[in-house]
Amino acid sequence: MRISELARRTGTSPRALRYYEEKSLLRPDRSASGYRDYDERAAQAVRHIQLLLSAGLGTSVIAEILPCIPDDTTVLAPTCPELLDGLAEERVRITRSIDKLAAARDILDQLLQTRPVRD
DNA sequence: TTTCTAACA
DNA sequence: TGTTAGTA
């Protein structure tokens, strides 16, 4: 399928799909005319990319992880044990970020003399 | 018409 | 990320 169809089927834009390719997240074939030609697996890969992106992972990390996710799942635990440590570290970084943000919010709550409110 | 690349907003 | 230009 061509880029616009893949974009439509995955809810992204052709622009984003070209960007993914530039970051080596996707490697579509090319038609004789130079048009990108995507297969079914690409559609699944894009969904994985979007999931990983929403997890806050960078494109370089995603490029490593992607080949470890089977087309039909969203879990990689059983597949590539080597990556698990790296992702665990990523999780630690995220936790630290959350803690810092929470601390910043607490300070603002004090300055504003408001009682902590849940969003 | 659709897509391509590259560059600019 | 969107958009634009000039092509094939």
The pLDDT of residue A9: 95
Give the confidence band of A117 by pLDDT, cuts at 50, 70, 90. Answer: low
The residues near A53 (Cβ < 8 Å, ≥ 6 apart) are A59, A62
Condensed to tens digits (0 to 9), the pLDDT of residues A9-23 reads: 999 999 999 999 999
Separation between the CA of A114 and the C1’ of B4 (whole angstroms): 55
Strand C–CB A16 distance below 7 A? yes
Domain ranges of chain A: 1-74, 80-119
Protein CA A5 to sugar C1' B1 (Å): 14
Other beta carbons less than 10 A from residue A17's beta carbon: 23
- Which of these, A82, A73, A18, A85, lies nearest to A48 by C-alpha position? A73
Q: What's the pLDDT tens digit per position in A43-99?
A: 999 999 998 888 888 898 889 888 888 877 776 665 677 788 888 888 888 899 899
**CATH code of the domain occupying A1-74:** 1.10.1660.10
Q: Which residue is nearest to nucleotide B2 (CA to C1')?
A: A4
Q: Nearest nt to A16, CA vs C1'?
A: C1
**A26 by DSSP, 3-state: which?**
coil
How far CA A77 is from CA of A5, A46, A50, A84, in Å, comes to 31, 19, 19, 7
Q: Is the CB of A95 under 7 A from strand C?
A: no
- SS3 assignment, position A73: coil
Spatial distance from the CA of A15 to the C1' of C1 (Å):
8
Mean pLDDT of the A25-39 span: 94
